[in-house]
A and B are shown apart, each in its own frame.
Chain A
Amino acid sequence: MKILVPVKRVVDYNVKIRVKPDQTGVDLANVKMSMNPFCEIAVEEAVRLQEAGTATEIIVVSVGPAQAQETIRTALAMGADRGILVKTDDELEPLGIAKVLKAVVEAESPDLVILGKQAIDGDNNQTGQMLAALLGWSQGTFASELGIEGDKINVTREIDGGLQSVKLAMPAIITTDLRLNEPRYASLPNIMKAKKKPIDEKELAEYGVDAAPRLEIVKVAEPAEREAGVKVETVGELVDKLKNEAGVI
């Protein structure tokens, strides 16, 4: 079974981001970039399926700037076999990315595509579902457990009230939630080995897909700051303030 894992290069999750003073976006100059955490979980799951003998090949794809190659190398060091970088300096929207990924899927014919449920920059939570729609495939979103059974895949999903299990026809799209697994750190020998694994560089134009941005970003602003309130000395004082000052109990 062949697995395709799309990954995204984003601002590292530990970085406290700053909004640009002209409100055109978030300042990305000299900021540490990493693989989106949900994408790491997707790579880890694919590698585990390969270690279990279920998967035979893992292909990692990223759509982004030349530096996204580093993100692909990280995935190769975790255990993926080869990479595809679709180069573009434009910030594509989820629907545009899904259209590019559809073209990649058609060229590679994977049985399963595993993606992060959302990227921690745009927080859109759209790409996987859109790709499933464009391909006419089933979708198992927010997965916390996978089980392959012949030509079906059982997916346990994190839903608002608890957990839901669904059985999907394959090929399928899976998007990962936090509890699916804990991604490994790549070992030094594997990092060295990853340097020799192939990454196929493509230009976005080669796919002949219209992925031009369709939304207008009017502005990006700082959220309203919440001011720190007062410290109370005792529980009694707290209850008194909640009752008589804030009026919330």
Chain B
Amino acid sequence: MNTLLIAEHNNETLADATVKAVTAAAQMGGECHVLVAGSGCAAVADQAAKLEGVAKVLLADDAQYEKQLAEPMAALVVAMADGYATIASPASTNGKNFMPRIAALLDCSQISDITAVIDANTFERPIYAGNAIQTVKVTEAKKAVTIRATAFQAAGDGGSAGVEAAGAADNPGLSEFVNEELTKSDRPELTSAKVVVSGGRGMQSGENFPMLEKVADKLGAAVGASRAAVDAGFVPNDYQVGQTGKVVAPELYIAVGISGAIQHLAGMKDSKVIVAINKDEEAPIFQVADYGLVADLFTAVPELEEELGKAGL
């Protein structure tokens, strides 16, 4: 039985999370059909069609889908859900918003934030902020799934799926987009960056974050923060890495002035290599760090920038 994967995108570019979610969908058996719902988003459909493992792309190009609001998205997906065993999407804030609405309208269960596909109906997912891993089996014919993209490899190129137009459904007319304030940055996006440099309460103020940004620029890294740093007002909430923020799994994660609360570890402990810089040698972050440096960050971080320069970065 086939999977309908709802793409995450910004109407121009297919999000990296979707490219990884295709890998998860392929492991569920059957064909993977990607739904690109948006406005003026034909280019996104073409990008999805080139992914390995995608059998068909459905393009619902209509003004009402521009921001993927839950009410019209659910109406659209429910109308086309026949014949699919699985309705899936990345576990982005969009996916988390519309998917349970779709599941309830289809009267099926949802498995949130899966990190592994055991078989077509059995999945692993973290519970209690990643302090336990639950294996869940669906025994019914239909299910909704959101996929933690960082747990899967990106699907390769080399596909050549056809793109079909999908008609729009009636808009329930319950919600209206007003505006958006997106954080502008030239750095890579947190959840898809290969390197992440994060600051915690030890940074002392938002004015000290440019110090991390210089290191990040040397490494082509994204900049993140702990919840403590966000709550203290150093940086906006969308910097937050952790249970209540973003989950990242880069090749290299550098935690600066972060003590390592469970809350934060839940968002980054699947990183390949973890570096911790903290002046408190008892800080729990050192228990998960591959390389720990006990030092005052205000001397260590500028030095790190300099050493990276010397190393040719």
Contacts and interface: CB of A to CB of B under 8 A. Distances in A.
Given A218-B136, A221-B135, A16 B286 contact: no
A219 B93 contact: no
A107 interface: no
A1 B27 CA distance: 48
A33 interface: no
A161 B182 contact: yes
B130 interface: yes
B86 to A, nearest CB: 14
Given A129-B101, A133-B105, A216 B128 contact: no
A235 B307 contact: yes
Nearest to A159: B93
A208 interface: no
Contact of A163 (B181, B251, B286): B181
B136 A228 contact: no
A228 B288 contact: yes
Interface stretch (A62-70, A120-128, A187-195, A199-207): A120-128
Given A166-B69, A248-B272, A219 B135 contact: yes
Given A220-B132, A243-B311, A141 B140 contact: no
B128 A123 contact: yes
A95 B181 contact: no
Contact of B137 (A125, A215, A241): A215
A221 B295 CA distance: 36
B293 A220 contact: no
Interface string A10-24: 010000110100000
Chain A: number of interface residues, binned into ranges:
35 or more
A117 to B, nearest CB: 8
A66 to B, nearest CB: 23
A161 B190 CA distance: 10
A32 B159 CA distance: 52
A178 interface: yes
B292 A229 contact: yes
B275 interface: yes
A248 B273 contact: yes
B67 interface: yes
B293 A235 contact: yes
Interface string A77-107: 0000000000000000111001000000000
Interface in A132-165: 132-134, 136-139, 141-142, 144, 154, 157-165
A242 B291 contact: yes
Q: Would you call the interface of chain A mostly helix, strand, loop, or mixed?
A: mixed
B12 interface: no
Contact of B180 (A16, A129, A162, A215): A162
Interface in B86-127: 92-94, 96-105, 107-113, 122, 125-127
Contact of A231 (B94, B262, B286): B286
Contacts of B111: 215
Given A126-B100, A167-B175, A220 B183 contact: no
Nearest to B146: A125
B177 A235 contact: no
Given A162-B183, A249-B311, A124 B112 contact: yes
A236 B307 contact: yes
B132 A223 contact: yes
Interface in A202-246: 214-223, 226, 228-236, 238-239, 241-243, 246
Contact of B252 (A229, A233, A242): A242
Interface residues of B, number: 92
B290 to A, nearest CB: 4
A167 B112 contact: no
B313 interface: yes
A222 B132 contact: yes
Interface in B179-199: 179-183, 189, 191, 195
B101 A130 contact: yes
Contacts of B127: 26, 121-123, 220
Contacts of A129: 70, 97-101, 104
Contacts of B191: 160
B237 interface: yes
Interface string B133-149: 11111111000000000
A168 B174 contact: yes
B81 interface: no
Contact of A141 (B96, B219, B238): B96
30 contacts: A17-B128, A26-B132, A95-B104, A95-B109, A120-B129, A128-B100, A129-B101, A130-B101, A132-B70, A139-B97, A158-B237, A160-B93, A161-B182, A162-B180, A163-B180, A164-B67, A168-B174, A179-B237, A214-B109, A215-B109, A215-B136, A217-B135, A218-B122, A222-B132, A226-B269, A231-B286, A231-B292, A238-B291, A239-B310, A249-B195
Interface of B: 67, 69-71, 74, 92-94, 96-105, 107-113, 122, 125-140, 172-183, 189, 191, 195, 219, 227, 236-238, 243-244, 246, 251-252, 262, 269, 272-275, 281, 286-295, 300, 303-304, 307-308, 310-311, 313
